[in-house]
Amino acid sequence: MREEFRYIAPAPPRDTQAARTIAQAELQQLAAGIRTSATAAANALLKIQDPQGYWCGDLTADSTLESDYILLQLWLYPPEPDQPWHPPTWNRIRKAVRFILERQLSDGGWSIYEGGPSEINATARAYTAMKIAGEDSESPVMVRARSRVLSLGGLQASNSYTKMNFSLFGLYPRRYVPSVPPEILLVPGNLLYEMSSWTRTILVPLSIVQSIGSQHPVPQGLTVEELFVPGKRLTLPRRDRTSTIFNHADRLVKMWERRGIKDVRKTAVREAERWVLERLHYTDGLGAIYPAMMYTIMAMDALGYERDHPDLLDAIAQFDRLLLETEDRLQFQPCFSPVWDTAIAAFAMGEMPGGPVDAAAMTRAADWLLDREVRRKGDWSIKRPGLRPSGWAFEFANEYYPDIDDTAMVLLALQHAHASDPERQERVERRAIEWLLGMQSSDGGWAAFDVDNNWEFLNKVPFADHNAMLDPTCPDITGRVLEALCRRGFKTGDPPVQNAVRYLIANQKQDGSWYGRWGVNYIYGTFLAVRGLRASGDVSACPSIQRAAAWLQSIQNEDGGWGESCASYARHCYVPASSTPSQTAWALLGLSAANAGQSSAVYRGLRYLIGTQRPDGTWDEKLTTGTGFPNVFYLTYHLYRQYFPLLALATCNIGDN
């Protein structure tokens, strides 16, 4: 049955025996190069493994994190009347400003991904943060930034989160900012849990801040009125008839805030506080992500927590851990990625022909991963109350939010990484598989954190323009889960496999690609969908796999690599970019899974990886290839450029390799 997946490459032209001999020699040379390159890559990864057994590369994003950090400091340390603002974190603030300035583009703006154009929110927030920190508004840097904000539509064109943050300091009119009422926790039917997990962790503490946090002062005389386009109306987001209805509802909420029953609001705020505090147990901050952690600090301050309160101290300490700081610069990470990095690194080394180069390192990784299995029920259990908890989170500790994608990746890694206690490993794996099966959505796919999180109308609420209100199923996660299950013995006829295969076939794009929600973009989605379909052994998927292989070959760059821009999310189609090691590896993994491993496209791609590898076994990658919220927030995983090329080199079978 699996032989029907054989990729049908174009027939090569007839050649002479001499030509065939030369081709065979070149193939042997390439195979030797692959082995050498893969070994060097594996050794480079081993050098940076933590003694505890995990890998955790830097995870960085755009300048909005540093800009928001300055706003947070202004919240925590308001200026004294008639005094220059000089908080105790002033040295860090100046470092943040230097880093923001380093990211300014030639047109005066700031982008949200490497190589991208100026973006209104990043630019407005950078300008405002620098002005708060004392930058001269008439300096060339600030003049160019201000001009770029206005050319992008002014503050009126920014998204709800920019406006909400500014409104907390009177820099944007509150009446034109969406309200986030804490009463949402009191609505029957678990409405809150129909929103994505990350939206929940952001909105609940933000609702406290909006409800009881008084408008905080800014340095004397500071405004950003110059960022408003004159004559352009200030309105709530208005996209269609449904969003207009929600805007009317927002006006009612604001009326309720002024005239409603105060005891109800107090009850809602107490429930929001309880919700937040409960989710700070067994975790590295609320949701273990930057924005939720920032709003938690602000909420605790608004609630009157004294500065030496242990919960507030812990929240600030967890937030500060995200810092990447040197003597002269400061950069924030949106979160940590140790489980993700460890699982992919271990899987890549385990896939090497002959096995990993260091079995002891793999055992340390396995032991570390087993220790981080989730054993308590989290938000996901609202819809799956009878499901036994298991799985893995993305971060060091985030017990309420195990990640389906991470869980599948860990299961793949544990096929090769053998823990020091085999019986324990077997129990953990059995629980994780059971949890994955229980988290399959009704359409046959898998999402990141939840089941059937797809109420489309919620995308119309006024504060939904961060493009992440929901957590719907996606081909990339579904493909990875399908591969993980099938490698664990699930067969074509098993209902979870059948449903997942149907989902992937139904969601393939006309050109043969698949959308990638969590990596940029169609190359990422395609390689994972193909690997999942290939692992399933379902012959009905053969045409889809063939079309995907043809598409991957059609977009190969002249240098033999592959690259894709984050702009593909905005244009809803593949947008080419210069080749990157990670995206080249993804394309090669997709072609290899399609049994196109001995095609000229694969040979050229492998030569690209070998040729761009540095002497220390690593690769360089400048473009952004990770996705947070499409069109809003992108990620740079600094280890993607290391372990994905290793996985491709270890996986692609060119005959002699």
Which ranges of 213-356 does DSSP label H, i.e. alpha helix?
241-259, 262-278, 290-302, 310-320, 338-350
Instruction: For strands 626-629 and 330-332, give the pairing.
Output: unpaired
Closest CA to 449 of 288, 296, 321, 314: 288
Fill in the DSSP letter of residue 633.
Answer: E
DSSP states of 474-490: -HHHHHHHHHHHHHTT-
Q: What is the per-residue DSSP string for 401-435?
A: --BHHHHHHHHHHTTT---S-HHHHHHHHHHHHHH
> Residue 245 is encoded by which pair of tokens?
């209805």
Given a contact cutoff of 8 angstroms between Cβ atoms, the answer to whether 257 and 181 are in contact is yes
Bridge partners (DSSP) listed for residue 629: 633
Out of 341, 405, 406, 450, pick the active-site residue.
405
- Which residues are registered as beta bridge partners of 283? 398
Question: For residue 395, which of 482, 298, 311, 322 has the smallest C-alpha distance?
Answer: 322
Element (H, E) at 332: strand 330-332
Report how far residue 630's alpha carbon sits from residue 474's, in angstroms, rounded to the nearest whole number: 13
Q: Are the C-beta atoms of residues 459 and 153 closer than 8 Å to each other?
A: no
For residue 150, give the nearest of 117, 176, 127 by alpha carbon. Answer: 127
Q: Three-class SS of residue 529? A: helix
10 Å CB burial of residue 240 (0-12, 13-18, 19+) is exposed
The secondary structure of 367-389, three-state, reads HHHHHCCCCCCCHHHHCCCCCCC
136 flagged as catalytic: no
Which residues are tagged catalytic? 405
